[in-house]
């Protein structure tokens, strides 16, 4: 068991070493989010399963706080309203659950962050398509290949792994980096 744990931790560490080469795109995405918030726009997050949980986690970091005590920032996870999710899913199909929310809540200049380990989650893809038509920029957090979202996103951070658990580990780290950079940029010393 110790050998397994040791090997897993070394593999995780190796993925994060490779992720360091993504510093430029992460910085660009964070600056884009910061500018949207400074212009009184919002950051919307969406994803399925573990990516839904990460969406909620990251929205909470912006609404609450990440490291600094400061005013709430305008962020929302499109994964939390069960009435909307079930009504839209039932009436229009599961593939539209985020698209309808972007259409109803989104404004030009907002940012939509979509998390999908494959990059092919159809409900996130559909949200990206409507966002593009509405002048809402998109940030994709995906696995190594990037999937369909890579082609649709303004910024694609397709982390260096094909294993779902490792992709999700890196997504939350990237999300934390973005939240920290946004928070510092608006309320700190960066």
Domains of the chain: 2-187 (3.40.50.10490)
**pLDDT tens, N- to C-terminus, the chain (190 residues):** 999 999 999 999 999 999 999 999 999 999 999 999 999 999 999 999 999 999 999 999 999 999 999 999 999 999 999 999 999 999 999 999 999 999 999 999 999 999 999 999 999 999 999 999 999 999 999 999 999 999 999 999 999 999 999 999 999 999 999 999 999 999 986 4
Cα separation, 53 vs 102, in Å, equals: 18
Residues 119-159 pLDDT 10s: 999 999 999 999 999 999 999 999 999 999 999 999 999 99
Cα separation, 30 vs 27, in Å, equals: 5
The strands making up 43-46's β-sheet, listed across from edge to edge, are: 75-77, 43-46, 111-115, 137-142, 155-158
Residues 112, 41 contacting (CB under 8 angstroms): no
pTM of the model: 0.96
Q: What is the pLDDT, as a whole number, of residue 189? A: 64
Q: Which residues, in sequence order, are CB contacts of 36 under 8 Å at separation 6+?
A: 42, 43, 109, 110, 111, 137
Residues 52-66 pLDDT 10s: 999 999 999 999 999
Q: What is the pLDDT, as a whole number, of residue 188? A: 87
């Amino acid at each position: 068991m110790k050998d397994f744990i040791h090997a897993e931790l070394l593999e995780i560490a190796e993925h994060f070493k490779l992720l360091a080469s993504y510093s430029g795109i992460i910085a660009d995405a964070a600056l884009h989010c910061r500018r949207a918030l400074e212009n009184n726009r919002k950051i919307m997050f969406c994803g399925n399963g573990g990516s839904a949980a990460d969406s909620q986690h990251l929205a909470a970091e912006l609404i609450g706080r990440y490291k600094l005590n400061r005013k709430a920032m305008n962020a929302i996870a499109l994964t939390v309203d069960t009435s909307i999710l079930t009504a839209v899913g039932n009436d229009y199909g599961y593939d539209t659950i985020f698209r309808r929310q972007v259409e109803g809540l989104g404004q030009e200049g907002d940012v939509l962050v979509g998390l999908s380990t494959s990059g092919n989650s159809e409900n996130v893809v559909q949200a990206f398509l409507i966002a593009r038509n509405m002048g809402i920029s998109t940030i994709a957090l995906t696995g190594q290949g990037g999937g369909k979202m890579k082609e649709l996103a303004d910024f694609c951070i397709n982390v260096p792994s094909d294993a779902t658990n490792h992709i999700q580990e890196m997504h939350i780290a990237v999300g934390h980096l973005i939240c920290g950079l946004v928070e510092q940029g608006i309320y700190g010393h960066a």
